[in-house]
Every structure is written in C-alpha cells, then in structure tokens.
C-alpha cells in the first residue's frame, strides 16, 4: 500500500476534471481527495495498493476537450489509511457554481462547434451523395452500353462463325476442285505425251516419205534430161538436113 501526493497542471480547473478524477479513483478503489489549487492547478491525495496507484497516475493524464493535462508531479509518503473513500473538496459555493457554469459553457461551445462541423460534414456528405448518384447513373448508362456492345459482339461472333463455316465449306469445295484439276492435269499430261509420241511417229513417216519423193524427183530429172538431150540431138539433125536441102550447107 502507498500514499501519493499529485499536482496536476494544465487546463484542469473549470473543465470538470475533478469529477473525472473521482470516477477513476472509485473504479480503482482509491481513497483520498481532489481539490483545486490556486491559481490553476489541481491537488490529489490518493491512498491504495501499489498497482492501483500506478494505474491511477497513468489514467490522470487526460487530453480530451475541454480537459488538457500538461504534467503530473508525483511524490510518495507512507501509507496512513487516513481516508475511508475518495471525495471532491469543493470551495465556496459561488465559485463552484461559476466553475460548473464555465464547464457547461465550454461543453456547450464545443457542442455548437461540433454541430457546425457536423452540418458541414452533412453538407459534404450530401454533395458526395449527389456525385455518387450521378456516377451511379453514368455507371448504369455505361452498363447498358456495355450490354448493347456485348449483344452486338455476340451477334458478330455468331455471324463470324456462320461465315467461318461457309469458308470451310468453300475451302473443302476448293480442295475437291483442286484434286479434280490435278487429276485432269495428270490426264492432260498423259494425253500430251501420247500426242508427242504420235507426232514423233508422224514426223518419222514424213521424213521417210520425203526421202522417197526426193529420190523419185532425182530419178525423174535424170530421165527427163536424157529425153531432152535425145530430143535436142534429133532436132539438130533435122535442122542440118533441112539446111542441106536448101543449100545452106
């Protein structure tokens, strides 16, 4: 057990700090008192177990409007078991009344300030809500547009599949025609080869006939020349005879 003497400095008078201290003390089974210390501080005398006194000191360091504890000066004395409970030592009733009014005024001012902030936040919230609605409407419009484009995409896909099937069918037909064309080409080549063979045979026959004709022509020319020579010889002989008859020789 121990006894602690504490001097608390900061915004601790006329802000309801002593009431808060009394509540903390009662929860931790601390006995003693709290009182205002002129001009601005608060004095606390506390008795209790070592653990509870340590927690009590830590919980006194409050920074929550309108209370703002700047420092806590602590000194310890031997435990005296002087107090049965924890109390608030108050001064003149008029001072206490004014302190209460000051506390209420500070809280009221803070309440008004918070109210104004709340209104501002509410207006901001409404503005954001309106923007959210506008964005939602745009999102709905975009969703509808997306659905329309999706439907068109599906239709184009189906059309593409249909054209693809036709293309495959045409491709198969083209392959079939190509195979027929190849077969016809092979047949044409075969016919061409056969025609070439016949042409070669025809040329050979023509060449053979040509040689025979040339031979016959040559033989004919020799017979004609022999005939003509005999004929010219006879004519010359007849001319010589005529000349002799007419005395030209």
pLDDT in tens, 114-166: 777 876 787 887 688 788 878 888 888 887 888 788 788 778 878 877 887 88
CA distance 124 to 114: 15
In sequence order, the 6+-apart residues with CB closer than 8 A to the CB of 89 are 33, 34, 35
* 52 labelled catalytic: no
DSSP 65: T
Asked whether the CA dihedral 20, 21, 25, 31 is positive or negative, the reply is: negative
CATH number at 2-113: 3.30.70.100
**Residue intervals in the chain for CATH 3.30.70.100:** 2-113
- Give the pLDDT score at 196: 63
Cβ density class 96-112: b for 16+ within 10 Å, e for less:
eeebeeebeebeeeeee
Tell me the β-bridge partners of 4: 46, 76
Burial class (CB in 10 A: 0-12, 13-18, 19+), 56: buried
- Give the pLDDT score at 94: 62
- Give the pLDDT score at 99: 64
- The owner of tokens 């036709």 is 166
- Give the pLDDT score at 192: 62
CA distance 249 to 245: 8
When the pLDDT of each residue in the chain is averaged and rounded to a whole number, the result is: 84
- Give the pLDDT score at 67: 97
- Give the pLDDT score at 207: 74
Per the residue annotation, which of 18, 94, 145, 218 is the catalytic one? 18
DSSP 14: S
Pairing of strands 2-11, 67-77: antiparallel
Identify whether the C-beta of residue 122 lies closer than 8 Å to the C-beta of residue 68.
no
- Give the pLDDT score at 202: 62
CA distance 39 to 203: 146
Per the residue annotation, which of 36, 52, 145, 194 is the catalytic one? 36
Low-confidence ranges of the chain (pLDDT < 50): none
- Give the pLDDT score at 218: 75
* 36 labelled catalytic: yes
């Amino acid at each position: 057990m121990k006894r602690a003497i504490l001097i608390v400095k900061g915004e601790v008078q006329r802000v309801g700090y002593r009431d808060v201290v009394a509540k903390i003390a009662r929860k931790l089974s601390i006995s003693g008192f709290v009182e205002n210390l002129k001009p601005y501080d608060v004095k606390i005398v506390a008795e209790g177990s070592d653990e509870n006194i340590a927690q009590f000191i830590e919980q006194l360091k409050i920074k929550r409007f309108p209370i703002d504890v700047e420092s806590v000066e602590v000194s310890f004395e031997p435990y005296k078991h002087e107090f049965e409970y924890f109390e608030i030592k108050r001064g003149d009733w008029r001072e206490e009344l004014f302190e209460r009014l000051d506390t209420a005024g500070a809280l009221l001012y803070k309440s008004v300030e918070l109210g104004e902030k709340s209104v501002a936040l509410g207006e901001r919230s409404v503005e954001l809500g309106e923007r959210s609605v506008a964005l939602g409407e745009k999102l709905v419009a975009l969703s509808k547009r997306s659905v329309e484009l999706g439907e068109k995409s599906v239709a184009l896909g189906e059309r593409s599949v249909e054209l693809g099937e036709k293309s495959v069918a045409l491709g198969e037909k083209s392959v079939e025609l190509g195979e027929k064309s190849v077969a016809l080409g092979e047949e044409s080549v075969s016919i061409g080869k056969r025609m070439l063979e016949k042409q070669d045979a025809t040329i050979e026959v023509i060449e053979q006939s040509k040689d025979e004709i040339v031979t016959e022509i040559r033989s004919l020319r020799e017979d004609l020349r022999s005939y003509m020579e005999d004929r010219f010889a006879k004519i010359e002989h007849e001319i010589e005879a005529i000349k002799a008859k007419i005395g030209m020789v």
